[in-house]
Amino acid sequence: MITKIVFGDPVRTDAVTARVPKGEKVKNFSLTREEKRLVFRCPLKAGDAVYGLGETMGRVNKRGGRYISFNTDTADHTDSNPSLYASHNFIVIDGERPFGAFFDTPAKVTFEIDYMGSGEVVADCETCDLNLYEIEGGSAYEVCRELIRAVGRCYLPPLWAFGYGQSRFGYASPEDFRAVADGYKNNGIPLDYICMDIDYMDGYRDFSFNERSFPDPAAFASDMRGRGIRLVPIVDAGIKIEPGDPVYEEGVKGGYFCKNRDGGFFSAGVWPGMTHFPDFLNTSAREWFGRQYKFYTDRGFEGFWNDMNEPAIFYSEYTKGLKNPLYRLAMDILFGKRRKEKKERELVRDYKSFFHDADGRRLRHYDVHNLFGAMMTRATSEGLERLLDHRFMLFSRSSFIGAGRYGGVWTGDNSSTWEHLMLNVRHMPSLNMCGFLFSGADTGGFGGNCTRELLLRWLAFSVFTPLMRNHTSKFTRNQEAYSFGDTDAFRKVIGLRYRLLPYIYSEYMKAALRSDMYIKPVEFVYPEAKGIEDQLLVGDSIMIAPVVTEGALSRNVFVPEDMTLVRYDGGFKCESASRGWHTVGVGLDEVVFFVRRGKLLPVGKPIMNTGEYDAAALELLGDGETYELYTDDGLTRECTEANIRLLKKA
């Protein structure tokens, strides 16, 4: 049961699309109204878990932490950092009578959840205008599903987006991309796409190619397609101020950029130098921005990642900041915390200095900050829907609940550490609770140098996340799967992704069609697994228990009911695992997971990319009797239950 309580005159976020009955007053919280804020409080009992908040630091059970929804470009993914790139203001309190609340405001919200042992949840909204959705259900899982239903059907990627992708900040020429394609092919490791980071552009301008390196991008894209590989260009939020450039000129002429107090366009320094930010809260500006993707679709590109859309600001017309990125990095390292605090103050000042025209309503950016990235994703997605007659790949760094209808997300600039592998494990169920099914992290880590062991363990986890992309920063050690000597183990682990494709694709599409989660905490189905956060349920049949510890060649696994243990080392080996704790050996060149009792797992033949996928050549593992397989051509928009057929075990 979901109800909506309206406070003041909330900004339209379009986060919820279902018709929701209105309630008169909050039921599960006490409420203090202060001059410029609404503060909600609710006591917690000792054993209550609190879930939600999507992309935040901390554990899956959010108790004990303080989290601030204020979208931030930050590489500091540590518990001392309260804000990452996204705002997902949905929490579920799993007590005697489970209930959830979605604080639907693009303003800053601070959550303190049993913070310092306070024994209560506090949600402090920096606004008096808010749509609050209260959801009651029989279980935390039901509450999440009710929210997902209310948000509306999540984004449906094409089949190829479920393949494995390689990326790196620094690939700059066709030779770089060809070398990656060759590296994978020559080592017999499957690959579906390579991401193009900002170096493909001309002076870091969106909707441009560096013509010296890419004289004929359409021919290049088609050549790569011929090898079974798609290219996925990055698009940043800011449009470079460059008189004479058609995109810039059109934006100025149409008045599509965010404005200063005095009516001029706000200018912020990002990768290309000074830019203007498209006013994504304005319908005409969104349509204009969406139309620009024609530049790529005309040249055969059909997958994109949207970045820097918190929006990130390196420096602005008001704050001098440090223009040279390397110098900035050096200063950050030398003056760490002090620089960070100064930067935060400058950002707030910037965000308070420009305005949106939300179709006639003038809004200060700071007050609607958290919506910016989500609306960029919406602009892109709606644009691509008009430009293409089939599904496309799209994922964004910044997001707000509701954006999961338009595209996926990745979790930004993590590092090559074991902690960040575990953070990835924790993010996945929390993101799913908030309706972001197509998600994943930079596999192997963005910052820092990845080791062979970490990459293998990270890949073995990413095999199960819908977005499986290896990405790293400039100046880091090579991170492609063929860069670490003997490639046999990589071939096996990435190969597993492709053998599981029938399952991963079916489970994702069914979850999307049925307003379900694709990845969930084990305790959502098996309450006796409460508190176990390093095991997850993936789809309806699989439980995973990834190895997230350096040097470990085994791990303890709680098996909540008798299951089938599946060991993949190039072939599938099944054995039974009885209910209880097990110490399971997991070599570096294998992946171990579990098939639930009474369930089946369809697996396909080894293939080199999704183009070779054959849904007719399947094998069924596990002790169940039937499996609902979803199949289509991987591109059609006609995704319905009619594409599901029942497979029966022979």
199 contacts 504 by C-beta, under 8 angstroms? no
Q: Which residues of 606-635 are buried (b: 16+ CB within 10 A; e: fewer)?
A: ebbbbeebebeebebbbbbeebebbbbebe
Nearer to ligand GLC, 176 or 287 (CB): 176
Q: Please select the residue that binds ligand GLC; options are 413, 480, 516, 540, rule is CB under 6 A.
A: 413
DSSP symbol at 292: T
Q: Please select the residue that binds ligand GLC; options are 60, 68, 125, 198, rule is CB under 6 A.
A: 198
Q: Please select the residue that binds ligand GLC; options are 92, 109, 180, 234, rule is CB under 6 A.
A: 234
Residue labelled with tokens 């596999």 = 443
User: Which sign does the torsion angle of CA 82, 86, 87, 92 carry?
Assistant: negative
CB of 381 to ligand GLC, least distance (A): 19
Nearer to ligand GLC, 270 or 437 (CB): 270
- Contact call for residue 104 and ligand GLC (CB under 6 A): no
**Binding pattern to ligand GLC, positions 118-157, x when CB under 6 A?**
----------------------------------------
Q: How many Cβ atoms sit within 10 Å of the Cβ of residue 637? A: 11
Count of residues that bind ligand GLC according to CB under 6 A: 10
- Contact call for residue 632 and ligand GLC (CB under 6 A): no
Nearer to ligand GLC, 446 or 526 (CB): 446
DSSP H or E run through 559? strand 554-559
Q: Which residues contact 27 (CB under 8 A, 6 or more apart)?
A: 3, 134
CB of 238 to ligand GLC, least distance (A): 12
464 contacts 538 by C-beta, under 8 angstroms? yes
Instruction: Return the structure tokens found at 437.
Output: 């099914």
- Contact call for residue 169 and ligand GLC (CB under 6 A): yes
- Alpha-carbon distance of 304 to 161, in angstroms, equals 11
- Alpha-carbon distance of 636 to 37, in angstroms, equals 46
- Contact call for residue 310 and ligand GLC (CB under 6 A): no
Nearer to ligand GLC, 197 or 632 (CB): 197
CB of 1 to ligand GLC, least distance (A): 39
Nearest alpha-carbon partner for 206 in 76, 324, 322, 311: 311
CB of 244 to ligand GLC, least distance (A): 24
Nearer to ligand GLC, 397 or 426 (CB): 397
Radius of gyration for the chain, computed over Cα atoms and rounded to the nearest angstrom: 24
Q: Please select the residue that binds ligand GLC; options are 134, 242, 307, 632, rule is CB under 6 A.
A: 307
- Contact call for residue 412 and ligand GLC (CB under 6 A): yes
Nearer to ligand GLC, 248 or 305 (CB): 305
**Binding pattern to ligand GLC, positions 385-404, x when CB under 6 A?**
------------x-------
93 contacts 45 by C-beta, under 8 angstroms? no
- Alpha-carbon distance of 518 to 516, in angstroms, equals 7
CB of 179 to ligand GLC, least distance (A): 18
Residues that bind ligand GLC (CB under 6 A): 169, 197-198, 234, 307, 397, 412-413, 446, 471
